[in-house]
Amino acid sequence: MQKKWNIHHIKNSEVISELQGTLAVDETIAKLLALRGISNFEEAKTFFRPSLETLHDPFLMKGMNIAIERIIKAINDNEKVLIFGDYDVDGTTSVALVYSFFKKYISEIRYYIPDRYIEGYGISFKSIDYASENNYSLIIALDCGIKANDKIDYANSKNIDFIICDHHLPGEDIPNAVAVLDPKQSDCPYPYKELAGCGIGFKLAQAFCIQNGMDEQEVFDYLDLVVTSIAADIVPIDGENRVLAHFGLKLLNTNPRPGLKALLALNKQQDKELDINTLVFTIAPRINAAGRIEHGSKAVELLISDTNEATEFSKKINETNSQRRDIDISITDEAFETMDLDPITPFKKSTVLFNPNWHKGVVGIVASRMIERYYKPTIILTESNGMATGSARSVKDFDVYTAIENCSHLLEQFGGHKFAAGLSLKTENVKAFAEAFENEVSRTIKTEMLNPTVEIDLEILLDNINDKLIRILNQFAPHGPNNMTPVFCSKNILDTGYAKIVGNNHLKLEVYQPNTQLTKIEAIAFNKGDFLNFFKRNIPVDIVYKIKVNEFRGATTIQLLVEEIMPSA
């Protein structure tokens, strides 16, 4: 599938000049900063030198005063408190943080993770019944609850108070909880709106520290959990999240909690410099696997474990992830085969697949895999509790939530956001829904949305790549939404004659750019062996790449990670 290359351009040349002058950096760095919304020295200083002192006052968040007062009352009255959270990474890290922090001050405290298959997402009636039967008078809900109006009303009828800590978009009516902490509320003055659910839990604990004159280091010790949630939930890594992620990674690399340390050791990551990618591709899938295959409480057990328990818990989590991966691969292969055998697949603008035997815990992953291959708005459904239920994923710029909403007459339940959603419907309505969804997508999607785009920060010469550039690029981390790893493009590239295929169709190269200083740089292009003849025949190509530094036996070399190749114009 040919991808469109979109090279970003800076319109305000004055900003570039100011950044070059005040920071004494070259044009490449100045442009990269401008693309990230940085326009002056102070903003650049904050970007390059994160400080915990810049964290916002948690009491700026609407409802925080009331929440802390209610928790203090629970402590003074020796109430039983239940910590509730979702079964994904953000939810389980949130629960681990808030439970571990407050158990030092609340004698009767427990946590509750809903069963993905019995209770589903968010606050459940079952959890409220459990709290009532066991005399819990306060529930702190994390990473969910902002739309659970009926559940909160039910809890109120049983004299159970709720503190909601959520980061999702509210509905028109806010639940009638004792306190609702969500910076996305329209009347919440909190300056930063993009905290993960665990970030809201962190602010709750931080506020408790401040209110009681405690050393805030007590809550900073949980930043390894916060950065894990930031990475897994794919929230923007800018503003306050960037500070939390920066110091969370520092903690992970120096003194991670036993559960994470054991999981890293089990996956041979303990001696490596950990970054956001380590969390996204190594830690997050394993924590998520507990909720997908077994029960999310297993993830919390790992995250709150002591050194003696951590190794055993990490082994169980790792085994669960292996099961998840096998199931994921098997179902993905089945989905690919179904699509490839359907003669009208190429003519459809969407994908809806239903198989009652597929595992509910991985349908979202499979939908993402389908997007990678076919690049169409995709819904994968299975059968659960007599209903067709599943997950939707979208392509860039297409609002899949609205498309589903416009077919809601065929649905029993749905929710989500622009790029991902969950839904359930009667099995007899699946065919009609698939047709309605295809019609809706065909009516609203633009042709260009069905062609994947490669976002490129800058076009540069290979001569621009040097040790100073690398040193400054390293300070752009941690990377994530709103601060992705810089992606570059260079044109009219040739190989020195070194080009060869290694491994499973990967290209190993040594590239240079004619009519320049002939800088030669090693490069690797995964799954691009089909382009070998271009290099062997000295046909110039344009390449899209990221820059990496390899260290081996004390020596460092620069390497380009080539992601896209096409013949030069």
Q: What is the DSSP string of 363-376?
A: HHHHHHHHHHHH-S
**What stretches of 217-337 adopt beta strand conformation (E)?**
none
Classify residue 353: in a domain, yes or no. Answer: yes
Nearest CA to 491 out of 530, 456, 532 is that of: 456
pTM: 0.90
Residue 361 shares a structural domain with residue 391: yes
- Whole-angstrom CA distances from 79 to 73, 110, 125 are 8, 12, 21
User: Looking at the structure, do residues 169 and 107 belong to the same domain, yes or no?
Assistant: yes
Torsion region of 234: left, alpha or beta (phi above 0 gives left; psi -120 to 50 gives alpha): left
The label of the residue with tokens 């999981």 reads: 263
Q: How much is the average pLDDT of 4-30?
A: 91
Tell me: do 34 and 121 sit in the same domain. no
Q: What is the CATH number of the domain that holds 83?
A: 3.90.1640.30
* Residue whose pair of structure tokens reads 């902002």 in the numeric block: 146
The reply to whether 204 and 169 lie within a common domain is yes
* For helices 197-211 and 64-76, angle between their N-to-C axes, nearest 10 degrees: 60
Q: Is the pLDDT of residue 434 over 90?
A: yes
Verify that 470 and 507 share a domain, yes or no: yes
Which residue is associated with the tokens 């990230």?
Answer: 36
Confidence at residue 172, expressed as pLDDT on a 0 to 100 scale: 87
Least confident of 8-17, 76-85, 467-476: 8-17
Q: Tell me if 244 is assigned to some domain.
A: no
Distance, in Å, from the CA atom of 433 to the CA atom of 430, rounded to the nearest integer, reads 5
Q: State how far the Cα of 125 lies from the Cα of 132, in Å rounded to an integer.
A: 11
User: Is the separation of the CB atoms in 223 and 467 below 8 Å?
Assistant: no
97 near 237, Cβ under 8 Å?
A: no
What are the b/e assignments for 235-251, b being 16+ CB within 10 Å? bbbbbbbbbbbbbbbeb
Residue span of the structural domain in which 441 resides: 342-451
Is residue 417 predicted with pLDDT exceeding 80? no
On the question of pLDDT at 1 being above 90, the answer is: no
**Domain's final residue, options 215, 236, 260:** 215
For 494-509, write each residue's pLDDT tens digit. Answer: 999 989 999 989 999 9
Residue 69 CB contacts under 8 Å (≥ 6 apart), including other chains = none
Q: Report pLDDT for 384.
A: 87
pLDDT of residue 382: 95
Report the DSSP beta bridge partners of residue 140: 83, 163
Position 321 in a domain: no
Both 69 and 188 in one domain: the answer is yes
pLDDT at position 211: 97
Note whether 27 and 148 are same-domain residues. no
Q: What is the pLDDT of residue 302?
A: 93
Whole-angstrom distance, CA of residue 140 vs CA of residue 99: 10
Residue 273 domain-assigned?
no
User: pLDDT band at residue 455, thresholds of 50, 70 and 90?
Assistant: very high
Residues 429 and 544 in one domain: no
Task: Please state, rounded to an integer, the average pLDDT across all residues of the chain.
Answer: 93
Instruction: Say what the pLDDT of residue 517 is.
Output: 76
Instruction: Single out the residue in 426, 451, 476 at which a domain terminates.
Output: 451
Read off the pLDDT band of 179 (50, 70, 90): very high
Furthest CA-CA distance within the chain:
80
Q: Count how many domains the chain has.
A: 3
Pairing of strands 387-393, 420-426: antiparallel
**151 and 132 Cβ atoms separated by less than 8 Å:** no
Helices (H) and strands (E) in the chain — how many of each? 21, 19
Look-up: residue for tokens 């306190």? 179
- Asked if residue 333 is part of any domain, the answer here is no
Q: Does 65 map to a domain? A: yes
How far apart (Å, rounded) are the C-alpha atoms in residues 380 and 378? 7
Token reading at 536: 């062997």
Take residue 100 and report the two structure tokens written for it. 């571990």
- Establish if 516 belongs to a structural domain: yes
Domain boundary among 405, 430, 451: 451
**In terms of Cα–Cα distance, which of 289, 247, 227, 288 is closest to 480?**
227
DSSP structure string for 410-457: G-SEEEE-SSEEEEEEEGGGHHHHHHHHHHHHHHH--GGGGS-EEEES
Amino acid identity, position 237: I
Rounded Cα gap, residues 132 and 126, in angstroms: 10
Whole-number Å distance between alpha carbons of 281 and 274:
11
- Domain check: are 425 and 480 in the same one? no
Over the stretch 108-164, which tens digit does the pLDDT of each residue have? 999 999 988 788 778 999 999 999 999 999 999 999 999 899 999 999 999 999 999
pLDDT digits (tens, 9 = 90+) for 459-493: 999 999 988 999 999 999 999 999 999 999 999 99
Instruction: Give pLDDT, residue 556.
Output: 81
The tokens for 527 are 């799954």
User: Which of 508, 521, 513 is CA-nearest to residue 492?
Assistant: 513
Are 536 and 545 contacting, i.e. CB atoms less than 8 angstroms apart? no
- Closest C-alpha among 293, 319, 291, 317 to residue 305: 317
Q: Looking at the structure, do residues 441 and 535 belong to the same domain, yes or no?
A: no
